A and B are shown apart, each in its own frame.
Chain A
Amino acid sequence: MRKAVALFLTIALLLVCIPNAFAARTTIIFWHYPQDEYSDAWWEEWIEEYNNSQNEVYVELEWVPMDGWNVKLKGAQAAGTAPDIYGMPLADAGRNVTNGTVLAFDEYVDPAIWEDLTDVARQYTYINGSYWSFPRYLEPSAMLLWRKDLFEAAGLDPEMPPTTWDELIETGKKLKTDTCWGLHIPTNEADIGWTTWGMQYGLSGSLALNDDWSKSRMSELEGYHQLANFFNDVYWANIAPEQAIYGYGSIDALCENRCAMLMTGSWSLATVLIDYPEMVDKIGVSHFPTPDGSYDHATASMGGYCVLMDKLTEHPQECADFLVWMFTRDPAVMYDFFERSHFSKFSPWKSVESMIAQADTYSINPWLETVMDTVIPYSIPEPIYPWEVTYAFGRAVNRILLEGYDAEEALRIADDEVNKYIENFGLAGQNLKN
C-alpha cells in the first residue's frame, strides 16, 4: 500500500514539475514556405544556433508549402492560431498593414537598428510612421536570360542579346526549332500581371492606380497599351509556347534546351550556379528588352522577402529579439545567406552590403555586374495595392490574345473591373505612405 502511495505521489510530482520545466522557455511559432535548398538550410541552421544560444526562447520553424500557404494562414488567423511570425513577400507587409493583421516592431526594438536599412528596403518596411517587417533580401523580378550556344548555332552573335522588342521577336523566330522555343514568357493572368510591374511603370511613368487608389487608369496610359500589344505580338509570332512549360520561377526550360531565351528573375541565377554549373558559360543575362532598346527606365520591380509579426502574438518582445538577433546583431548571419545564394540576391541592410562589397562577388556570380548596372538602379518597388488590380491587367492581356479584343477595349474592361473592386472594398484613400 505504501509503495502504491509513493508511486502515486512521484507520478503526481512529475506531472506538476515537467510542464513547468518546459513552460520556462517561451516558444515562438515561425512559418515560412520552402524556397531554395540553400535558403531553407540557412534558416534551419541559424535558428538552431539561436535556440542553442539561450534558454529563454525556442523558435519552432514550420515549413508550410507555398500552394497551401494562403488558405492555411487565413484559416489559422480565423481560428486564432496564427503563427507568431511568418515569412512573406516584401510588398505583402503593406497589404497586411492595410488588413490590420500585423504588429509594428517600434515598441520592441532599438530604433537605431533601422538606420542600417537601405532606402529601397525602407520603402517596404516603413509605413504610416512605423516599422512593420524585417526585410531579408531584395531581387529584381524580370530579366532576359539567353543561351549563348543556341545563339551561335542559329548564326547569331552570342554576346549580343536583343535589346528592343522588335529584335526580341525577330531573334526568337531565328532561334525557334521543332524542339526548342525561341522565347519563354509567362502566360497565366497572375504571372503576366506581376512580372511586368517594372515594365508597366517604366513605360507609363506610373502604375495602374492613381495616387489615392480611387481610380484605375490603365486604359489612359500609353505604356499599358504598348505592353499589352507586345504580348499580342509575341503570341502571333508563334515564338513562345501558348501555355508556359514551367512556372515563372523556374530556369529549367532554358537549361533543358526547351527555350533559347527566358524571361525570369534574378533568383534563377542562383539556380544556374548551384544546380546547373555546367551551363554557367552558356548563359547570358541582360535587362529585359524595351520598345526603344534603352534600359534607363524600369524594366523590373524589386521584390524580395521579409518577416512579419502577427498582431495577436502573445510574445512580441521575444519575436522582436529573435529577429534582431538574426538580421541586425551580426551582419555575418545575413552575409552567410547571400554567400549561399551566390550573391544572386541583394541585401536590404547596409552593413551586410558593406561586407558583400569586400567579397570577390563578381567571380562567384559572373552576371552580377550586369544586374547591378542595368537592372537594379532602375527597378521600382513592388506595388502594395491588392492583387485584384494586378490580375486585371493579366486578364486584359488574355482578352486580347484569346478573345480578339483590341488593347483599348481590353484595358477599359480591366479598368471597369478594378473600379468596381475599389467601390466594393472601399479602396479609395487606403494607399499607405512611407
Chain B
Amino acid sequence: MNERHITGLTASKGPKRSRRQLTRQLRNNLEGMLLVIPALLLITIFAIIPMIYALFSSVYDVSLYTGTEFVGFENYQRVLHDTVFWSTFKTAFRYMLYVIPASLLLAFMLANLMIRIPKKAAGIFKASIYIPNVISGVITSVIFIFIYDYDSGLANVLLEKIGIKRIGWVTDTKYAMLAVAIPAIWMSLGGTTLIMLSGLNDIPTVYYEAASIDGANAFQQLYKITLPSMRNVFIYLLVTSIVGSMQVFELPNLITHGGPLYSTTTPNLHIYTHFINDTSLGYTVAASLVIFLLLAGLTAVIFRLISSEKSME
C-alpha cells in the first residue's frame, strides 16, 4: 500500500468532480482561511512569538539594562533546585483542597434548592448569587481585608460573639490559606451554581417520576439519577477549577502577599515576586516555562480523561 492510500487521499477522490465544484470548494476553503487569519495573527503575536522569545531568554542571564549573558540551563537548574518553587505547587494543591470541594458541594446544594423554589424567587436568588462573579478580584480582596481586620473586622467580631479568641487571619500560617479560600469560594459560587443548575434542568423529569413510582426515595434518586446524569458537568467544573486554582494570583497577592512563611505563595505569585525583585529576568522566565509545561501536562491528562470513551458513556 503506498502513502497516498494511507493518508486517505485515494478515498476522497471518489467520482471525478467538475472544475466548478473544485473552484467552489477552493473558494470555501479560502474564506475559511481568511476568517482564521485574525485569530492566527493574535495567537502568533501574543502567544507563539512570546513563547519563542521566552525559550530564548530562559538560557540567558537577561538584564534589562546591563546586557545579557548566555548561561545555558543554569536558570532551569536554579528553578528546579529552589525549594520555594516546589512548595508553591503544594500551596496550589492545598488551595484546591480548600476551594474546589467546598465550591462544588455548595453550588450543588444551592442549585438543587433553586429548582425547588418558585420561579420568581429563583430569579432573585440567581441574580444575587451571581453578583460576586462580576466583582473584580481586587475589590473582593479589599472587602475581605476589611473583614479580616484583627480588631474590628467582621470575622473576628463574630468569633468573639460566640466566645472564640480573635484570629490573625492573614498573619497566622494556620488560617492564611482559609483567608484566601473563603473569598475564592464566594467569587466562584455564582458561576458554578448556574452551570450546575443548567445541568439539573437537563435531566428529564420522567426519570424522577419513574423512580418515584418504583418507590425510590430522595437519596436513591440523587445517587442513581442526579449524580450520574451530572457527571460531565462535574468533570467540566473540576477541570476548570483545577486549572484556575493552579493559576490563582490576585487574592493571595492582595490579601496575604503570599505569606506568612510562603504559606499562600502560589506558582504565579512566586513568578511575579521574582519578576519584581530579581536583578535579572532569567529565573522568572525559566520558572514561567516550567510552570507552563507542568500546567500543560496536567491539562492534557485531564482532557485526555474527559475525552475518553468512559467519560462519555
Give the B-binding residues of A (Cβ under 8 A).
Answer: 70-71, 74, 77-78, 98-101, 187-190, 241-245, 258, 311-312, 386-388, 395, 398-399, 402-403, 424-425
Contact = CB atoms under 8 A, between A and B. Distances in A.
A398 B277 contact: no
A98 B257 CA distance: 26
Contacts, number: 80
Interface of B: 63-66, 78, 82, 148-151, 166-174, 257, 259-261, 272, 275-279, 281, 283
Contacts of B64: 74, 77-78, 101
Nearest to B280: A425
B260 A402 contact: yes
Contact of A77 (B65, B82, B166, B167): B65
Contacts of B272: 71
A245 B149 contact: yes
B142 to A, nearest CB: 11
Contacts of B65: 77, 99-101, 311-312
Of B261, B272, B279, B283, most A-chain CB atoms within 10 Å: B279
A51 to B, nearest CB: 29
B171 A242 contact: yes
Contact of A402 (B166, B170, B173): B173
Nearest to B156: A243
A82 to B, nearest CB: 9
A189 B259 contact: yes
A101 B148 CA distance: 39
B78 A424 contact: yes
Given A188-B171, A387-B277, A388-B277, A242 B150 contact: yes
A258 B151 contact: yes
A188 B168 contact: no
A308 to B, nearest CB: 13
A243 B150 contact: yes
Nearest to B276: A70
A188 B260 contact: yes
Given A74-B276, A77-B65, A188 B150 contact: no
Contact of B279 (A71, A98, A190, A403): A98
Given A77-B64, A402-B174, 12 more contacts: A101-B64, A188-B259, A241-B150, A242-B150, A242-B172, A243-B171, A243-B172, A312-B65, A402-B172, A403-B173, A424-B82, A424-B283
B283 A189 contact: no
